Amino acid sequence: MNVVIAFPSAFTDERILARTIEKAARKTIRSVAVEHNCVICESSDIVELACQLATMFGVESVAVAKKVSSNFSALAAAIVEVGVSLIIPGDRFHVKVILQPTAKRDYVSRDIEFAASGMLTARVASITALPAKTEEDASRQILTVVGRESAYVCIQIMTAPSGLIAGSRGEVLSSIHDSLSFLSSMMAAKAGFDFSSILLPYVDKSELEINAKLVQSFAARTGRKKQTILTMPINVPGKGAVSALLKEKIISKVLIRNQNSSRIIFPFTTAYHPVWFIETIFQETLAAGKMPFAPLIFLSNELVTYAQKAGIELNISSSAAADITKGKIQRYGEAVDFEAKSAIKHTKRLELKIGPNYLHDILDTI
């Protein structure tokens, strides 16, 4: 029998994760059991469940594994059979066995690793595959988890987003209108926050399509099944870097005046936004009785790496905005307030299910 193993991230409680998995995959899940620091899942659709868990926050990695006897000789033989099916010519393999504290066996991890590695070396000698001296030197790892009653030999291992379980830290409100706001929202989701709704502001049709794609990507990466989107056209005065800050100012006022959440995610980073600008908006947020969060605030070069991993382009052209003075923005005070009120007045609320036509549903509804 094959099962799916979810390995929790460092700060995730495995029992809470087990309940989250059970709730999220209730249609295909058969049983969920906690084996010390991992979660063993039996399902009617192993592949679908593994793919689903591989997108779940709070999970470090996911494995499809073969459930076998934890008897020494039977387990060693099972590791060899799985290894033979996975190892390719020229591989340097490493056998790793995790013996859980719940497993009361008369052997230790090193015993089974040594025995299985020796047997496997003999079986794959003809394809010039050899055991690696250390785990770091290996091109392929054969991982096994020995639990209370059974053992699980991993056939395939996938990385997952890690972080904290979605929604475990409460709800926040965010806007997705460029690459920085997308990354901010992703980092907040990874930190355990859920999104009561997402603002989708746009200047024109072209920007609407770009931002809608970001919203679609966010929904897919966070594993959501439905999403509330607040769309609104905005008119931004000014030109160049000044216009970019004015746009953030307008959107921040819309976020602050929204009643859906008392916690707000802002896409600010000192690598691009003036410190005085960030402080001003934080002060406005706190004065309104709400709490500002800025997941990217101290990041600079790391933003490029995060954007690449997220599969998006970091569309901030330069740090010119950081040199803009407070006076240049203050002269647009009345215009910013007017445009924020206008955006709120023309807001459309969309309740959409996540699916293959999600992007078209957003654009068609607007």
Confidence at residue 66, expressed as pLDDT on a 0 to 100 scale: 97
357 and 251 in a common domain: yes
92 and 57 in a common domain: yes
Confidence at residue 319, expressed as pLDDT on a 0 to 100 scale: 56
109 and 70 in a common domain: yes
207 and 332 in a common domain: yes
175 and 64 in a common domain: no
CATH code of the domain covering residue 10? 3.30.2130.30
pTM beyond 0.75, yes or no: yes
Confidence at residue 322, expressed as pLDDT on a 0 to 100 scale: 72
Cβ atoms < 10 Å from Cβ of 81: 16
Burial of 83 (0-12, 13-18, 19+ CB in 10 A): buried
187 and 318 in a common domain: yes
239 and 94 in a common domain: no
- Listed residues 162, 184, 218: the one ending a domain: 162
299 and 175 in a common domain: yes
347 and 269 in a common domain: yes
Confidence at residue 320, expressed as pLDDT on a 0 to 100 scale: 67
- Listed residues 162, 188, 210: the one ending a domain: 162
216 and 193 in a common domain: yes
CATH code of the domain covering residue 361? 3.40.50.620
31 and 12 in a common domain: yes
112 and 37 in a common domain: yes
Q: Which domain covers residue 95, as residue numbers? A: 2-162
Confidence at residue 360, expressed as pLDDT on a 0 to 100 scale: 82
User: How many domains, in total, are found in the chain?
Assistant: 2
> Which helix (H) or strand (E) covers residue 22, if one does?
helix 14-24
Distance CA 358, CA 366 (A): 13
Residue pLDDT tens, the chain, 366 long? 999 999 999 999 999 999 999 998 988 899 999 999 999 999 999 999 999 999 999 999 999 999 999 999 999 999 999 999 999 999 999 999 999 998 989 999 999 999 999 999 999 999 999 999 899 999 999 999 999 999 999 999 999 999 999 999 999 999 999 999 999 999 999 999 999 899 999 999 999 999 999 999 998 888 888 889 999 999 999 787 899 999 999 999 999 999 888 999 999 999 999 999 999 999 999 999 999 999 999 998 999 999 998 999 888 765 567 778 888 899 999 999 999 999 999 999 998 888 888 888 888 888
- Listed residues 104, 135, 162: the one ending a domain: 162
Residues 65, 161, 209: CA angle, nearest 5 degrees? 125
Using left for φ > 0, alpha for ψ between -120 and 50, and beta otherwise, residue 238 falls in left
